[in-house]
Amino acid sequence: MKLIRALSMTSVLSTAYAFQSSHFAHIQKSSTRLHSQSVESQGEEGSKKKRKDVMAFLRKKGALGKNKDFSTAMGVDEGPVGKNRSQVRGMQKSKMAYEWCTDSGIIDDISESFPLTSSGSEWSGFTDQVMGGISEGKLLRENIDGRDCNVMKGKVSTYNNGGFIQMATDLSKDPASTLTVNASKWDGVELEVYHDGDEDRENFNIHLRNPACTRQFSSYRATFEVEKGKWQHIKVPFSEFKGHGPGAADTKFDNSTLRRMSIVAIGKPMEVYLGIGKVCFYKEDSN
């Protein structure tokens, strides 16, 4: 039974990431050889150690951190702030090795292993399925026209009052010490994006959250448009973000206590293929 539990853990991990079937078969076979000799003689602590060994083995083989299926989210904006930490968190550098995104301006320049950001946080994906919707999606690291990027890929459906998929990250590199960052010295959010969906032009949202957002579906939102088939720079000034939902709708946007950022495909049926090559804050040249 302990052997079955150890192999079941491998199976659960495999469904959390989009593996190639042949690659997973090789990993499963190797994992079985690696852990089959002493399972019968070990207790609960031994089983825990073996599960950790399986995870370490999968990471070594490159099976973790490649693709990320979406979790469901309550409402249209986010899961719990500071709690979206995946199994690859153990491979991350120490928090001190990262610069705060509000110091450098860089939230993610794709310099870290997926799904980590270059500012010490982590991307996660969410859909409308917890609300009864049927939208689907995944996050993955790909190369588009010679450029590495994170890709939000999926299908948005408005069936049963659904209608979104999103990728989101906390902005604090250390939620244990502070959940918010002060972006007041910056003028807005800048993206480098690539769109390859159904339409020649498509709209997406950026959602920002701060303590005024009292419900999970509350946020400050702005829309940007992208053209199909080419990399482009998008700048969205903080002045364009408008409050939606309890708290945010009645409170002026304050960028000195930002918690979270989301990039969202929302509001209409669409096929989504959105590459994100960089996410940062920007400041307009005063000259």
Q: Where are the domains of the chain?
A: 2-60, 70-282
What pLDDT sits at residue 66? 52
- Residues whose CB is less than 8 angstroms from the CB of residue 92 and which lie 6 or more positions away in sequence, other chains included: 112, 116, 120
Q: Which CATH class is domain 70-282?
A: mainly beta
Q: What angle do CA 23, 29, 31 make, to 5 degrees?
A: 100
Element (H, E) at 125: strand 124-127
- pTM over 0.75? The answer is no
Q: Would you state the pLDDT for residue 233?
A: 97
Angle at which helices 21-35 and 2-16 pack, to 10 degrees? 150
pLDDT of residue 101: 98
Whose tokens are 């032009």? That residue is: 201
- Let me know how long the chain is: 287
What's residue 189's pLDDT?
Answer: 99
Tokens of 39: 């399972």
Counting as low any pLDDT under 50, the low residues of the chain are 1-44, 47-48, 51, 54-65, 72-76, 78-91
36 three-class SS: coil
Per-residue pLDDT tens digits for 43-60? 445 544 554 554 444 444
- What pLDDT was estimated at residue 59? 42
